[in-house]
Structure 1
């Protein structure tokens, strides 16, 4: 299992939101590039970067910070947040991102997503953000009447290889992940699942690792010093 330290960028700063709420922001660093270097130096194999402003507004206000992160470290980076067309996918991949994550497109533009999956293959992932089992879109501001497990099955059928699955109710709450949903996804699909939301303790990591998940994203627990990243890495090695 790969552990992905999360770097969420808002106004070119490294922040964390609580349950995706833009009025509940904690700023952890004014320099996301230095934060990226820190996680690399501690042994991270992969970084998870989110453009929060892009997720909300579809702009690209944090472009310089994201490009600097990619250029400043040697480990691969996956990027999400407001990526709703092929032009943005190309732009990020050309900038050096290893994987680009789309979200809203999986609900609103499934035909386009099918075409892109055939072209970009391993370099394209889908973020499924769920609230009570239903899929949220547009930076978690809208909730569609779409079952998240059914969507995972559909994505697998069209050639998507990786899914970042976030239980919104767990995100930033430091209360542990939704183990039930990850176990169900592991049993019902063959897609590579990256767990996101609520990963807080070494025990959380042990449990997720035992489910043979592809990866887990860690955010607030690292920034609040509730979890030591090097200790977490030892749990999966």
Structure 2
């Protein structure tokens, strides 16, 4: 199982939101690349990047910071937030982003996502409110169940699904293991848990399922409820 520390970008800064609400943004750094470098030094292989402004605008909005992170760090980078067309995907891939997260577009145009998965390293982001898919930067709840959307990408060639329980995101209330497993079972592909992770107990619980391929770590690191180097060490020593 892989730990993917997260950097959410808003107005060029590294922030964390609560339940995806932009007005809840808490700034943690004016130089997001320095945060990425810190993750690299702690032993991370990946960083999970989200362009929050882009998620609402439907186009890249934190390009300068994304470029800086790519230039100054040797980590693998996955990036999401407002990516709606192949031109944007190609732009990010040319920039050196390792894989692209497609969220809202996965619900609105699944055939586009499947087509892109044949050309690029694509991850589908499924964000859910009460089990139903949330779209447009989590501003809206759709009528589709998250598990049904996961099923639609079962044999589509996407690398993974990142599933977020929006109600827990940024709450430090514990990761939703059951929801994560429901997505993994529905899709049959690598599934990454997101939303609510608090401490090492959450990582242990996900690891023990032997069905979860990764977990996004956000506020737990920034607020100090998770010792990240200790978490990396735990996974290195407990490969199931």
TM over 0.5: yes
**Match of residue 27 from structure 2:** 27
Instruction: Flag structure 2 segments of 5+ consecutive residues without an equivalent.
Output: none
**Match of residue 103 from structure 1:** 103
Would you say the 8 A contact 1:186–1:211 is kept in 2?
no
Give CA deviations for 1:206-230 in whole Å, capped at 9, x if unaligned: 0111123111000001001111101
TM-score, length-normalised on structure 1? Answer: 0.96
Tell me the SS of whatever aligns to 1:236: helix
Alignment of 1:158 with 2:119, yes or no, is no
**Match of residue 4 from structure 1:** 4
Quote how far apart the aligned CAs of 1:176 are: 0.2
Instruction: Flag structure 1 segments of 5+ consecutive residues without an equivalent.
Output: none
Tell me the SS of whatever aligns to 2:118: helix
C-alpha separation between the residues in 2 aligned to 1:183 and 1:128?
Answer: 13
**Match of residue 55 from structure 1:** 55
TM-score, length-normalised on structure 2? Answer: 0.95
Cα distance change, pair 188–104 in 1 and its aligned pair in 2 (3 A): closer
Deviating beyond 4 angstroms after TM superposition, the runs of 4 or more aligned structure 1 residues are none
**Match of residue 72 from structure 2:** 72
**Match of residue 233 from structure 1:** 232
C-alpha separation between the residues in 2 aligned to 1:202 and 1:32?
Answer: 24
**Match of residue 221 from structure 2:** 222
**Match of residue 147 from structure 1:** 145
Quote how far apart the aligned CAs of 1:184 are: 2.4
* RMSD, aligned α-carbons: 1.0
Tell me the SS of whatever aligns to 2:9: strand
**Match of residue 185 from structure 1:** 183
**Match of residue 131 from structure 2:** 133
Tell me the SS of whatever aligns to 1:176: coil
- Aligned residue pairs: how many? 235
Quote how far apart the aligned CAs of 1:54 are: 0.1
